[in-house]
Amino acid sequence: MKFDTPATTNPIDQLRIVGKPTQRIDGGLKTTGSAPYAYERHDAVKNAAYGVIVGSAIAKGRIVAMDQAAARAAPGVLAIVTSRNAGKLGKGDKNTARLLGGPEIEHYHQAVAIVVAETFEQARDAAMLLKIQYEKDDGHFDLAAEKDGAPLTRQTELTGPPVSKVGDFDAAFAAAPVQLDATYTTPDHSHSMMEPHASIASWHGDHLTLWTSNQMIAWGVGDVAKTLGIPKKNVRLVSPFIGGGFGGKLFVRADAVMAALGAKAVGRPVKVALARPMIPNNTTHRPATIQRIRIGTTKDGVITAIGHESWSGDLKGGGPETAVGQTRLLYAGANRLTSMRLAELDLPEGNAMRAPGEASGLMALEIAIDEAAEKAGIDPVEFRVRNDTQVDPEKPGRPFSQRQLVQCLRLGAERFGWNRRNPKPGQVRDGQWLIGHGMAAAFRNNLLMKSKARVKLDRHGVITVETDMTDIGTGSYTIIAQTAAETMGVTLDTVVVKLGDSDFPVSAGSGGQFGANNSTSGVYAACMKLRDMVAKQAGIASADARFADGNVSDGEHAMSLAKAAQAAGPDGLVAEDGIEYGKLDKTYQQSTFGGHFVEVAVDAATGEIRVRRMLAVCAAGRILNPLSARSQVIGAMTMGVGAALMEELVVDKRPGFGFFVNHDLAGYEVPVHADIPYQDVIFLDETDPISSPMKAKGVGELGLCGVAAAVANAVYNATGARVRQYPITLDKFLDRLPQVA
């Protein structure tokens, strides 16, 4: 199905099932512990051996010797695979570093060997017996030290231009009556998903099956095939359930490739799970940033110049954290400058983490906007409203398809009680606590991707949907079932959804908050094709066909879907189609918007910060399932609290070391239940016919964008101490707290 004109009225608009709060159809499997996750596929794999990956103990250099004798002699050991006996390996298109290192080492904890044994304990113990000698290089690990020499990034479709200019920023900023020039920093972040990277590999001749935890099945197939040097048709990836990814499982990682190499070596299936302490350094992370933001306004708060420059780092061949992207689109301003520079660092690979670019960019921008509002003497909500735009500021002829940012901010302020906020910092107390209120705008682009599905109608009237779309805990099973049920006019319990298998048609996959809108659009396209086939069996013109209550009719004639399938033959009816987009996203800027409001309490003596309440208001097209969408947003809000107050991968910057020291959940703190207060989420009633036939967009990452800045702004309102370096730990402002009476 080609989607190249705005959607008109279609079967989804009936909203009998789509748009209704719906419990997850896979909820029973998860609550009973019977959902088949990758490492637990005992039903599919018998007699699996266990593999343990050995990671490099240096960040940069080379292996000069490896003594395997003790490890090979250990009980239960079946094989040891290294770069010396793995055969010729390639590198996947989505990987920056090789997934098996040696003799050259590209980053700390790069996999250098896998030890395979009969039991996990035997493999783990034997792995500790490997004696590896390294020759270290000094390496480059400090973004601040490399900042001044960092070149502009190269332009790609994903990153956009390294420099974007509109008007004369320098002149306009110099002439502005109100000026802000400030620098903000965000640290490296780890995904810290609940389920570790895990895989089981099994070979049948020259065909490989991988049960793995992976968000993008088709990407994974391509990269596994390229890495191992085998045809894509010989690789099958299966990933029906994923215990969290947040972008860390967009790409195949060492667990999958090393499991495949281990299984090939021992001639039987091998299962591998990365130990928690290995994940931050072996896999990907969100890169740290340094961001300089300059804003010039008139005396009444109208932005006349806005500039945002960002620096981040990655391994050679990697890409930047695109922290300036939202600044190109979020606020008006005639004179504009954005730029991105990328330092070459020898830290582990930087890559996508939930809302890549916007999450870290808004951590800085939305503090800067508050600072500019204060300098102009204008309320932060009013300042943002005053600088709203309904067109792309860089391309004024390109309007937004939908843009309800002002409505989000106004409604959020009303529901939150923003009018009770004291604009003078450090004035409101509740006993020992200083109370502050903060807010920030939320922004995330709407991305469009091709997505296909296969739908089958059997002789009992049951509809089965097959697509390689994944469910990373977001509710994909349910919204896909809702889409099929709505389109075909059947109840939810007559739809079976099968996901996460490369034998199924290629979907958009899960990432970039593009999964829900695109995957359901692909299912809708396949169902519309199936409707035509059903109508033909019933002798009804497709244009006149109405689907409801398990029947197709035209007002005069009717037939049950079951009978239509029976009339087609023993296999019923099968339709396969997908969504393919035209150029509407070039004509219209498609984005999602929101407003975050936060109340914090700061201990007047100790500086301890407690978040008391949070509100998010989101405008993100049609909300397909408000229940699971709300879960997505409150989960994102929780991540935002972590980014604001505690999350930081600390780098050992000594020559030759270059690794994240706090590489487990004991040292890398994330929010727990006691950290998270009352959270509320409001979705604006919105449809976007420019986006897709579903008239939906994405919301899972929008809920994170701006949260950290809202917390930071609230801390400032509580204390009068402005912190521009995340996370906002008490050591950064304790000496600036108001005097205790």
Return the number of other C-beta atoms located less than 10 Å from residue 735's C-beta. Answer: 9
When computed from its CA atoms, the radius of gyration of the chain, rounded to whole angstroms, is 27
DSSP state string for 198-241: EEEEEEETTEEEEEE--S-HHHHHHHHHHHHT--GGGEEEE-S-
In sequence order, what are the residues at sequence separation of 6 or more whose Cβ sits closer than 8 angstroms to the Cβ of residue 327?
A: 293, 306, 308, 338, 361, 365
Q: Are 458 and 501 in contact (CB under 8 A)?
A: no
Residue 599 is a catalytic residue: no
Q: How far apart are CA 721 and CA 386, in angstroms?
A: 26
Q: How far apart are CA 306 and CA 368, in angstroms?
A: 10
Specify the residue for token string 């035509």.
532
Q: Are 394 and 160 in contact (CB under 8 A)?
A: no
Return the number of other C-beta atoms located less than 10 Å from residue 233's C-beta. Answer: 10
Residues 462-485: b if buried by 16+ CB within 10 A, e if exposed: bbbbbbbbbbbbbbbbbbbbbbbb
Q: What are phi and psi of 379, to 5 degrees?
A: -55, 140
Name the nearest CA neighbour of 283 among 132, 95, 138: 95
- Range list of H helices, 489-605: 515-538, 561-568, 584-587
* DSSP assignment letter at 446: P
Residues 511-530: b if buried by 16+ CB within 10 A, e if exposed: bbbbbbbbbbbbbbbbbbbb
Calculate the dihedral angle through the C-alpha atoms of 11, 12, 14, 19, rounding to the nearest 10 degrees: 170
Q: How far apart are CA 248 and CA 55, in angstroms?
A: 18
Q: Which amino acid is at 504?
A: F
Tell me the CA distances in angstroms from 114 to 60, 117, 204, 272, one per residue in order: 20, 10, 21, 9
Q: How far apart are CA 469 and CA 479, in angstroms?
A: 12
Question: Pairing mode, if any, of strands 303-314 and 335-344?
Answer: parallel
DSSP state string for 265-311: HHTS-EEEE--GGGHHHHS-BBPPEEEEEEEEE-TTS-EEEEEEEEE
Name the nearest CA neighbour of 640 among 666, 675, 682: 675
Q: How far apart are CA 23 and CA 628, in angstroms?
A: 8
Specify the residue for token string 């005992």.
42
Angle (deg, nearest 10), helices 626-645 and 707-719:
50
Catalytic sites, residue numbers: 701
